[in-house]
Amino acid sequence: MKKILKFMGLFFILLLSGALIFTIIDYFSLINIKVISILRFIYPILCLFIVSYRLGRCSFKKGYIEGLKMGGMIIFVFTVFILLFSQYQIKTLLYDVILLLTSTLGSMIGINRKKNNL
């Protein structure tokens, strides 16, 4: 459980740093707003894949379960924030499913790419 919380912390640090960078880029109008909105959609998925990949490399077996646990916890946190500040919509559910699949896939690939030094 500590391992998953450590990687969740890494995910949220990456997410907040990306949000800060996108906000600065948007503030100074360096990139078109459509490109920024696409990047804001893709960036959390990419960060979750990378963090899940690293989690899978640290796991001993059943990477998909580790990915499901991590994805489920992140979706829970996102859902709480959405319910507090906004309405839950069908596109939010679709995005949550994409995040869960990305987390599972990243962890499965990570455990298969792991070097066994036995």
Mean pLDDT confidence for 30-35: 90
Domain annotation covers residue 117: no
| Res. 115 pLDDT band, cuts 50 70 90 | low
Look up the pTM and report it: 0.88
In a domain, 72, yes or no: yes
Answer yes or no: is 118 within a domain.
Answer: no
Of 12-21, 46-55, 62-71, 106-115, minimum mean pLDDT range: 106-115
Q: pLDDT tens, 57-86?
A: 988 888 889 889 999 999 999 999 999 998
In a domain, 71, yes or no: yes
Number of domains the chain is built from: 1
Confirm if 48 and 106 have CB atoms less than 8 A apart: yes
Phi, psi (rounded to 5 degrees) for 16: -70, -40
Query: 85 lies in a domain?
Result: yes
Which residue in this structure is represented by tokens 């991590």? Answer: 70
User: What pLDDT is recorded for position 62?
Assistant: 83
Chain centroid to CA 9: how far? 11
Domain that includes residue 23, residue range: 2-112
Contact 79, 96 (CB under 8 A): yes
Written as one string, the DSSP assignment of 37-66 is: HHHHHHHHHHHHHHHHHHHHHH-SS-HHHH
